[in-house]
Every structure is written in structure tokens, then in C-alpha cells.
Amino acid sequence: MTIVIKNKQSLFFDDFKFYCCVGKKGLTRNKFEGDKKTPKGIYTLGNLYYRADRVKKPETSLKCIKIKKNMGWCNDINNKFYNKEIKIKKRVKYEKLFRNDYKYDYFIPIKYNWHKPEKNKGSAIFIHITKNYKPTAGCVALLVKDFLILAKLIKKNTKINIV
């Protein structure tokens, strides 16, 4: 089964339809770092990350990883760990995973620009949480209740198609 994102606000999976939000500047086939666009295409998904200090481990067949205070996602185009989870270091640009807000209480990386990441092609593209459907910096966001339903339904080999 494949998750399908259509018309910038609808996520379909099996018989379910969820309202969602995407990048502030819409969808693109030509993504680059910081453009606030969600990349079009078909991608696999990563592990599910969660804040164990705030939320319970979700019911899912995905591998679950507890987010720690020193975890980041490298968005430094000159670093060899670009678009990978890292231990935070002062000299590396990164997206903080242990956030003050709720957005990364749960998230699943979308494996865009993943296996051999190209510099400046975009990083840290996730399915994460929203409370108000405000546009994202390039991710796909769902209400927590919808995220938890989706997490329960998807499998390790589930793909996402952003059209």
C-alpha cells in the first residue's frame, strides 16, 4: 500500500482520507534546501521517532526511536552526514529533534534525497504533527490522532507518493 498526498491538503491511505498540510510554497519536482516546498515523487519511509517524555510509544510495526536531547538532523550541505540523524555538534548546522513545541513529538522521515544525498537538494523531510494545519517548511503534517491511525496502518515497506 502507498500513502498518497494530493492537492496539498489530502492524504489517502487504504480507505482512509486525512486532512494534512505541506510546504508553505507548495509541491515541487526541483527541491532545494530551504525553499519551503515539499518534494514530489515516490519515497520509502524511515523509522518512527517519538518524545517518550511527552507521549507514549505508538502502536506501529515500524521501528520506534526515542528522541533524546542531543539528537539533530543534519542540514549542513557541506557535512558528510547531510540529511541524516546526528548527535548535535556546535560546528554543524542541524534541525533540532528535541523541540520545545509539539511538532516532532512524533515523526517519520520521508526518504527523500536519502541514499546518496545531493548537496542542497533538501533535507529533514518528515511526516510530523500539526495542530492548526499551518504550512510547513517542506514536510507533511497531520493532527496527532490522524498520525497515530496512520502509524498503526503502515508497514516497513509502505511508500509515500506526493503528486
- Average pLDDT of the residues of the chain: 97
The mean pLDDT of 28-40, rounded to a whole number, is 98
One-letter amino acid of 118: E
For residue 158, the SS3 value is coil
Q: What pLDDT, in 10s, does the model give residues 70-98? A: 999 999 999 999 999 999 988 999 999 99
pLDDT at 25: 98
Q: Output the nine-digit C-alpha cell for 117.
A: 544525498
Percent of the chain past pLDDT 70, that is, above it, reads 100
> What is the distance between the alpha carbons of residues 80 and 103, in angstroms, rounded to a whole number?
26
Q: What pLDDT, in 10s, does the model give residues 46-70? A: 999 999 999 999 999 999 999 999 9
Residue ranges of the domains in the chain? 2-162
pLDDT at 138: 98
Q: Output the CA–CA distances (angstroms, integers) from residue 98 to 55, 59, 69, 75, in the order listed.
A: 13, 21, 5, 16
Residue 12: pLDDT above 90? yes
| Fold type of domain 2-162 | L,D-transpeptidase catalytic domain-like (2.40.440)
pLDDT at 7: 86
Residue 145: pLDDT above 90? yes
The mean pLDDT of 12-17, rounded to a whole number, is 96
DSSP state string for 85-138: EEE--TTS-EEESS-SSSTTSEEEEB-TT-SSPPTTS----EEEE-SS---BSS
